[in-house]
Structure 1
Amino acid sequence: MSHVEDQQNEGNTSESHIDGDGEGSKSHIENRLDGGNVQPQQSQAVAAHVQALQRRKIAQLEEKLEILQSGHAVKERQTIWYVAKGRAIRRVVALFDSIEDLITENDRRCEESDDPDTTIEQDRLQIGYSTLTRTLPWFYKKGSEMEYEEYSHMLKMLRQRADSARGDDTSKLKTLVSEWVNREFKPVSLVDPDDKHSRGFTHDVCGRLLCPAELDWNNPEVRAGIRNCSDGHIVTDLSFPAYLYDKYTTNPDDLEEGLFKGKILIQGYKAVFTSPSSAKDVDGDGDGADVISNNRRAKKSLSVIKVKKHVAQIIQMEKVTPRSIAYIACQVRFALSSVTSWRSMDGDFDYEQFWRTIVDFFERAPGREARRRVDKLLEWWTRKVFGRNRRGELSDVMKANMSVNALARQRELRDDAAFDSP
């Protein structure tokens, strides 16, 4: 073969190699990829699958996060709701007894329904439970539907807010009581709204208001005896303080006369349950503004505007109750005392027993006449605090006999008679 032919053949061989590169090279590359167990289409499919899987996982995580956040928000709203509802417990249910104690006594009675023998303390707890379920009508149903953990959480929230509300009232009355005492008695040594150390029996006016009903504060020997805690002058919860009485004076021959009608006691009640401003108007026998009626009118006329509600509105309270009076009696005494932090004992004075004594005065009247006097006193308190509105007390029979309804019946009877006549 000539040199030229060799070159041509070489060119043909190269051309043939180049011409076949589309197929040959592809086959060659595929063989190389197959040898490495990696194919382009399979690789792309795997990558797409991984991306899709990751997207699904992200979506699932986002969904779980949203559920957790939603659940947290619901739990937070529930906590706020329980916190708001719990504010009434110390004020109108039980100042010292725990919610758990009330529930335990009610459960005991359900389990031992055939046991008629109960103690005074057990009866007091049972009345407390009944008061709790009236004040928080949702309590029993909601509690019976909950798991134990959620139920315990609810009780904890209620208890915390109950104690918080008591603390708020203590702080509020600390200042207000000092203002009322200074305004009414104008003492030489004014009661300091920020300092409690100068109150109590060391202060002449506070001492007069805290003085046991059976003793005469105007007697120098009595004042000295109380301040020195000498025999015959020990101040305990077995004595009703003078501030509980009308005009802060007592009738030794009738210690029930004027009891629980003290002006500063009424001021304390209105300051907590209606408003501090309403406490300025306590004169007269319920002749002031009708709180209940005014609240209803305000609700209608200001339905679009947010108006801050007072305690009685929040808990839908339209009558003064025994336990709410006992609560305020303890709060006012604490405000008059020199004790700086809330506790159940002040020297020889037991606040817990004092609260129970007042509750029992109303709830355990010894006879029919005593019950009648207690009911009359509570009616007086309701007029004093809420005004003279008694519409809610009208029975269906009383409403039926009133002229508007009576006239409606008469008109119907006349129409029926006219229709039946020939």
Structure 2
Amino acid sequence: NRKKSDTLVADGKHFGRTVCAFPDIHGLLFDGITQMLGLQTPDGTNGLAITEQHPSDDRCLFTKLLEMNKTLKRCLLEATPEEIVSVSAQIGKGIATARSTDAKGVKTNIEKWIHKDGKPLSPPISSDKRFRGFANYWTGKLLCPVDYDWEDPNVRADLASNRVDPFELDEDGMYPWPMFLYEDYKYDESDPWVGFMRGYPCVKCYKHIFTSPSSAD
């Protein structure tokens, strides 16, 4: 019915935002039901315990999904294959809707999140993708790897012309982090964790998705 469908879509949105953004819901449900039937225990638990060793495997994802909707377990066990397909479609719809809504909201607001004071950017960010990325001062500054000095004109020219690979593995086999991840766009080489994931756009994006769009204004 309509109420059940809306509930599954809402569960999908929550699951996609807080657990996994790109799950194979159809496969997850069928595999989960198979394991659940085979591992049913006398105390009524489904036997799909979350383990610290495998926190993101399918058993963990399926268990998280069951925790979000207390009636889903019984619904799946009593459902026909066609009904399970319908359930997975509704949950998948919720996940896709959440991704689309969040991506659109972030894309619409990201320009005003670059500066804390919200002042118009100069030069502005072009609507033409060819003039974004490293071709624009502000977007380039955010994307610039922490190992490079964006204020150096030669660095900006090399990145904009693709003469250097900004995301080439370093000597330790690691990819360099982009500067927008750091608070005030400042990177402390002696302690890379200082200010990490506290960049102004990161904080605003988090609030927009997980709190409410208005909380990021």
Q: Could you state the TM-score of these two structures normalised by the residue count of structure 1? A: 0.41
Q: Is 2:170 aligned against 1:233?
A: no
CA contact (8 A) 2:167 2:176 kept: no
- Alignment gaps of 5+ in structure 2: 40-50
Larger Rg: 1
Q: Aligned runs of 1:92-241 on 2, under 5 Å?
A: 92-103=18-29, 123-126=55-58, 127-181=60-114, 183-184=117-118, 186-191=120-125, 195=127, 197=129, 198-234=131-167, 238-241=175-178
Q: Which has the higher contact order (CA 8 A, sep 6+)?
A: 2
| Structure 1 residue 202 displacement after superposition | 1.7
| Structure 1 residue 158 displacement after superposition | 1.0
CA contact (8 A) 2:11 2:68 kept: no
Name the CA shift for 1:141/1:196 in 2 (closer, same or farther; >3 Å): farther
Match of 2:10? 84
Find the partner of 2:211 among 253, 274, 278: 274
| Structure 1 residue 234 displacement after superposition | 3.7
Name the CA shift for 1:277/1:205 in 2 (closer, same or farther; >3 Å): same
| Structure 1 residue 243 displacement after superposition | 1.5
- Alignment gaps of 5+ in structure 1: 1-73, 113-117, 281-422
Q: Counterpart amino acid of 1:148? A: P
Distance (whole Å) between structure 2 residues aligned to residue 137 and residue 229 of structure 1: 52
Q: Counterpart amino acid of 2:188? A: N
Q: Counterpart amino acid of 1:189? A: P
| Structure 1 residue 156 displacement after superposition | 0.8
Name the CA shift for 1:105/1:82 in 2 (closer, same or farther; >3 Å): closer
Q: Aligned runs of 1:336-355 on 2, under 5 Å?
A: none
Secondary structure in 2 matching 1:124: coil
Match of 1:256? 193
Match of 1:265? 202
CA displacement, residues 290-346 of structure 1 (integer Å, 9 cap, x when unaligned):
xxxxxxxxxxxxxxxxxxxxxxxxxxxxxxxxxxxxxxxxxxxxxxxxxxxxxxxxx
Distance (whole Å) between structure 1 residues aligned to residue 176 and residue 35 of structure 2: 33
Secondary structure in 1 matching 2:114: helix
| Structure 1 residue 103 displacement after superposition | 4.6
Q: Counterpart amino acid of 1:240? A: W
Distance (whole Å) between structure 2 residues aligned to residue 83 and residue 216 of structure 1: 45
Name the CA shift for 1:258/1:154 in 2 (closer, same or farther; >3 Å): same
- Matched pairs, number: 197
| Structure 1 residue 230 displacement after superposition | 2.8
CA contact (8 A) 1:84 1:161 kept: yes
Secondary structure in 1 matching 2:22: coil
Match of 1:333? none
Q: Counterpart amino acid of 2:208? A: A
**What RMSD, in angstroms, separates the aligned Cα atoms of the two structures?**
3.1
| Structure 1 residue 211 displacement after superposition | 1.6
Q: Could you state the TM-score of these two structures normalised by the residue count of structure 2? A: 0.74
